[in-house]
A and B are shown apart, each in its own frame.
Chain A
Amino acid sequence: MSIKYKIVSFFVLLIIVIQFYPVDKPVIINKNPNDLIAATSPSNKIALKIKNACYDCHSNESKLPWYSNLAPSKWLVYDHIIEGRNELNLSNWNTYNKEDKAEILDDISTVLYDNEMPLKNYTLLHSEAKLTEEDKELIINWTDDLLDSLYE
């Protein structure tokens, strides 16, 4: 057996073995009665932008890409989704109280303003999640209006 053959078969075997490593798979739920978009009915454009840019990690409606079935990329995708939902789950919007909503809306507008979200490594693979300056302004103004309407 040549050394090249040994190395290749080692990696093939390794890839096969790691597929069996158990990880928590995020649960996908497509019907969410407390969802942000359902509760606040923004314009279609804003709704689409938010769905594309945020909902894969910050909702129960995550659309899983093909590589999310394969380890090791599966680990990264699942981890991001679970962490994102823990931080903020827009599918549970109406379960948050007024104070939480205020802070979340304020957060959304500042992370967009500071270009912290959507994450760069996410938009690299999901071009539809990229937000232009105009998109960002649109969403920021919408969240600011929504925030003001809570305190009117």
Chain B
Amino acid sequence: MCYHKNHIFVYHHIKKPMKTKFIISIVLFTLCIVLFSFTENNKDVYQNSTSIEFAEIPENVKSILDNKCMGCHSNQSKVGKSKSKFNIDKIIDGSYSTGKLASKYGKIGKSLSENKMPPKKFLAKYPNKELTPEESKIITDWATEQKLKLNKE
């Protein structure tokens, strides 16, 4: 971005600074958009201050969710109903209300203990997505703990 000041007044050099100006304005514009989107996010988080505390998912839980659940239960999911019923990204970004969160945690515990998730049909196609008993326990314990925390308040 550095050029000699005098060069601005030299005709054949004018093109270059114009180009840099153009680039700088684009960079600034993108920066503005990025900053703007960040402040928007913060606004959302602050409005939901109760959820943010519970949005922190322990690493061991997160890796299981990521490997075995978020294929369907995330923003990227193409399975519409799985996503509308339960979206893990909404736990992470804190966009579920406290009541919704309590319900989702309760349902995680139930659907795992009743062996409803991952669905049998899905496992027939993707057997490596099956939860081991240890993994199932980690998720169930975490969900139950979170649910109790929310219901105590």
| Chain A residues close to B by CB (< 8 Å) | 98-99, 102-103, 105-106, 110, 113-114, 144, 147-148, 150-151
Nearest-neighbour CB distance to chain B for A35, whole angstroms, equals 21
CB of B102 within 8 A of CB of A102, answer yes
CB of A102 within 8 A of CB of B106, answer yes
CB of B84 within 8 A of CB of A147, answer no
Q: How many A-B residue pairs have CB under 8 A?
A: 44
Name A's interface SS.
Answer: helix
**Once the chains are docked, how many angstroms separate the CA of A113 from the CA of B87?**
14
Q: Which of B117-153 contact A (CB under 8 A)?
A: 147, 150-151, 153
Number of interface residues of B (CB under 8 A): 17
Name B's interface SS.
Answer: helix
Q: If A103-B107, A110-B85 touch, does A98 touch B151 (CB 8 Å cutoff)?
A: yes
Q: Which of B91-117 contact A (CB under 8 A)?
A: 97-100, 102-104, 106-107
Whether a CB of chain A sits under 8 angstroms from the CB of B81 is yes
Nearest-neighbour CB distance to chain A for B51, whole angstroms, equals 10
CB of A106 within 8 A of CB of B84, answer no
Nearest-neighbour CB distance to chain B for A142, whole angstroms, equals 13
| Cβ-defined partner of A144 (8 Å) among B80, B81, B85, B97 | B97
Q: If A110-B84, A110-B85, A114-B85 touch, does A148 touch B103 (CB 8 Å cutoff)?
A: no
Nearest-neighbour CB distance to chain A for B87, whole angstroms, equals 11
Of the A-B pairs whose beta carbons lie under 8 Å apart in the complex, a sample of 18, sorted by A's number, is A99-B102, A99-B106, A99-B147, A102-B99, A102-B106, A103-B107, A106-B99, A106-B100, A106-B103, A110-B84, A110-B85, A113-B84, A114-B80, A114-B81, A114-B85, A147-B97, A150-B99, A151-B97
